[in-house]
Amino acid sequence: MLKGIGFSLFSSVLFGYIYYFSTFLMPLSGQDIFGYRIIFTVPSVFLAIFIFKQKHVLISHLKRIYSQPWFILIYLFNGLLMGFQMWLFLWAPNNGGALSVSLGYLLLPLVMVAFGKIFFKEYISKTKLLAIFIAAVGVVMNIIIKGGLSWESIAVSGYAIYFTIRKHFKMTDIGAFAIEIILILPICIYFATQANITEVRLENHNIVWLLVILGLLSGIAFNAYIIASNLLPVNLLGLLGYVEPIMMLIISLLIGENIDKETYPLFFCLIIAMILIIFDGIKKSKQKKILLKN
């Protein structure tokens, strides 16, 4: 258990640092960085499939596509959704959207809980319902005060669609992720080749090494998360997942972005909602332990 928690925290810290690390990659644009990151991530994904003996899972997805060719459109659509989120993650810190994206990641788990209830009739405890209600109050107040959420926050919270599709079509494993990332690889190669590295090196002499480090960090973080997911129950893994958006929020403030007073009510509501979700998860974990002992 402790080993799994350690790997989960380690991966969250690395993903959070990647959020900050993208600020070192100027003058590359968000799509340039995104292209290189995906290219460097592909070997890590297939290394994970080999290490964790998931080849049969990948083969089963390929057989599914062979028997039902239209399924490739589902994998492609999900790949594009995932790719857009990765691009936004790397674009935001260099374009004044870091705070809005971190806010979206705080909102995302609550949206996923709501989607679980709507699309899969999942049970929602009273504590989670209260958390969703408080978050909704924060969103409504933000709309009244500021006229709405930023497009970055809406885009991130909309990532729940990606996870909903994966669950509905039973595509939640690393094999499905491998197919998704391979399908968007041509787009990423195109983005990467649009950058004139020779010109970029005139402004950023270490850009090549920094891109290599980005690839290493992404690969290590990805595999650390896979290890954690194999060692921890889903409930605890979900709770630890809050570490990353909290780090993103801190990093947003460190790189110079500020929370305007009009956004205080929304952040306050989301933080309370997050605490309630964490409390509910801890409570459920304790209840499961008691049942197992009995």
Q: Which tens digits make up the pLDDT trace of 230-253?
A: 777 655 666 677 788 888 888 888
Region 168-191 average pLDDT = 92
Residue 114 has pLDDT above 80, yes or no: yes
Q: How far apart are CA 286 and CA 294, in angstroms?
A: 13
pTM above 0.75, yes or no: yes
User: Domain map of the chain by residue range?
Assistant: 2-293
Q: In b/e form, how buried is each residue of 72-100, taking b as 16+ CB within 10 angstroms?
A: eebbeebbebbbbbbbbbbbbbbeebbbb
Q: How far apart are CA 31 and CA 51, in angstroms?
A: 30
CA distances from 261 to 95, 264, 267, 272 (A): 21, 5, 10, 17
Residue % of the chain over a pLDDT of 90? 24
Query: Residue 131: its pLDDT value, please?
Result: 85
Residue 28 tokens read as 């590359």
Phi, psi of 167 (to 5 degrees): -70, -40
Query: Residue 167: its pLDDT value, please?
Result: 87
Region 19-31 average pLDDT = 89
Query: Residue 180: its pLDDT value, please?
Result: 93
Which 3 state secondary structure label does DSSP give 29? coil
